[in-house]
Structure 1
């Protein structure tokens, strides 16, 4: 990705965040079933292709404890955040404002806090934290999200979110992440993610409908070209709304994440579809090929899931396309053959 001069720094930070998990041999069963990836590797790569032709590399990481568990991993994550704050100039005011909501003494769910590091050609990485709306149980997720948005200055925005939830009350649209950029800039985001189980592209259009930057035609074609016509009965479509500090109750940006790995027979097909989606957005597909080649340790047709998600980002601050790549350190999912392969 043209970021080789940042490699030593990135590896050092990654090793620090992973903790004892970083010492495990490839192929060994994971000691903690991280939900970051299908094989429970606690790190995922993604390349964000921007509309201006640039691209950045992101690492999504779950910090691990020597004896992992929900509380132990949260303790490890908070200690890792303290170390990151001594290395880089992080803005922790937003996290501090919602810490009492999302970081309880007895965390529930699949995780409590994950880290994202975005590596750019110059300057420190941009650090983002993902918090779990279901950390106090699924029944408390909407209350936590509403309270979090209120505390961060977006009073009344929960009414907007409810109005643009495709299937209210059915349990099919679930809050999955509440994410914060830890930087003090006008582009610092608060992002709210929902997983849309059994959804169609029309449901995603409904979720995006109140966002001025969302293009319904592009959104529909992106979803269907990557994953089919739906409904998406495997892994769900995921949407996110971007709130910026300059706004009140309405989000400025919208992103749709297609879990392509569940709707293709193998990664060879996934790469062909992803190339085509990027080309339609005017993105350099050669950079995608280099990224896949750097991560792949097998022929693409021999498995599925190396290309996990592809997302379309619309609106400020950074419109473009992002491709999410799995490390596959603990295992490779076999290809899917037969008439059902890749069916949405």
Structure 2
């Protein structure tokens, strides 16, 4: 029997997911956009090993799905995607991502002004770290997809991450924001609170966001509450409750808790919104337990969980007790522009992690290596004219 390609596998998942959450009329367009961004990776057979150790998913699948449960009862589908190159490597992958961005700009009204202001900071000729540019394709019911990009603060080395973030915020009009965030992350000097993503919504609307993400290593709910204090809209009591319901009591010694602060307008140094991401997959025995926890959380917050159950079955038909990692993260979004809950689902294109499996404990590297200390990715690559390099 012929092995299916990455495009065929993820395309089938995407069609079922769209149907599961009321976006069937967007499925064909979303599938085409996903295949375009994946590029050469999408045409490869799943009988072959992944060509690149993508850090998007534990099994190196280059795509992850997420379903956002909005306060008005609607749902939004998001695709986190890494563009692929014919001969993968840090420089080749960045070139492939920029080419994919050009194609998206030809297809949709993509606004590049924010990226242009920080391009020289985050997109160097010789990128370091696990990635340089990832895409989030936001599939909505009443409008064309929205493009969001993730940039890597570690792309010039961990010792320059603060500089890149501070300069990037200043250039985008948020002068003073870096100092404000730093005052609410007191463990930063110890290397336990580290910037992990600098994200931009590429659209010209009042709701277009700049988002700054931090990973909180060896943290508990109290550390997330301190980070959330930078945002007026954050409810610290709900943050503690959410963390406990989804991930347990902590401290979180495997994959870290992640915070993001949302900036909407340059009239204030303070962020307008806050989100907390709990890596549920590392703190449960299997996906059945993860689903039980997430459903209980949705019920607690008055959200109908039927769409979640349909979405899970759209991605996989396996026994949820047979593995772990399908439900990867769960986030609580507070404040404007879109408060609610988001559940992140792994494609599991290459592999299903056995039940009881979890990542090694995250240990930030005091030497300040460019390697993301929370990552469990390993892999090698060889660019033309260069020696083989391994993570």
Q: If the length of structure 1 is used for normalisation, what is the TM-score?
A: 0.96
SS for the counterpart of 1:169 is helix
Does the CA contact (< 8 Å) of 2:174 and 2:266 recur in 1? no
State whether structure 2 residue 105 is matched by structure 1 residue 72. Answer: no
Give the Cα–Cα distance (whole angstroms) in 1 for the partners of residues 32 and 77 of structure 2.
Answer: 15
Does the CA contact (< 8 Å) of 1:46 and 1:57 recur in 2? yes
1:94 aligned partner: 114
2:131 aligned partner: 111
Does the CA contact (< 8 Å) of 1:131 and 1:178 recur in 2? yes
Give the Cα–Cα distance (whole angstroms) in 1 for the partners of residues 267 and 336 of structure 2.
Answer: 12
Query: How many angstroms does 1:26 deviate by?
Result: 2.8
Query: How many angstroms does 1:124 deviate by?
Result: 1.0
Give the Cα–Cα distance (whole angstroms) in 1 for the partners of residues 35 and 188 of structure 2.
Answer: 41
1:341 aligned partner: none
Does the CA contact (< 8 Å) of 2:134 and 2:151 recur in 1? yes
Given candidates 268, 274, 282, the residue that maps to 2:288 is 268
1:158 aligned partner: 178
State whether structure 2 residue 206 is matched by structure 1 residue 186. Answer: yes
State whether structure 2 residue 36 is matched by structure 1 residue 26. Answer: no
Give the Cα–Cα distance (whole angstroms) in 1 for the partners of residues 165 and 289 of structure 2.
Answer: 37
Give the Cα–Cα distance (whole angstroms) in 2 for the partners of residues 234 and 258 of structure 1.
Answer: 11
Cα RMSD after superposing both structures: 1.0
1:10 aligned partner: 30
Query: How many angstroms does 1:8 deviate by?
Result: 1.0
List per-residue Cα deviations over 1:38-81 (Å, max 9, x = no partner). Answer: 11100000000011111100000000000000000000000000
Given candidates 341, 346, 359, the residue that maps to 1:326 is 346
Give the Cα–Cα distance (whole angstroms) in 2 for the partners of residues 193 and 262 of structure 1.
Answer: 20
State whether structure 2 residue 173 is matched by structure 1 residue 149. Answer: no
Give the Cα–Cα distance (whole angstroms) in 1 for the partners of residues 230 and 128 of structure 2.
Answer: 32
Unpaired runs of 5+ residues, structure 2, are 1-20, 358-391
Q: Find runs of 4+ consecutive structure 1 residues off by over 4 angstroms.
A: none
Give the Cα–Cα distance (whole angstroms) in 1 for the partners of residues 284 and 45 of structure 2.
Answer: 29
1:15-54 matches, cutoff 5 A: 15-26=35-46, 28-54=48-74
Query: How many angstroms does 1:161 deviate by?
Result: 1.1
Does the CA contact (< 8 Å) of 2:62 and 2:81 recur in 1? yes
Q: If the length of structure 2 is used for normalisation, what is the TM-score?
A: 0.85
2:335 aligned partner: 315
Given candidates 274, 288, 292, the residue that maps to 2:308 is 288
State whether structure 2 residue 247 is matched by structure 1 residue 213. Answer: no
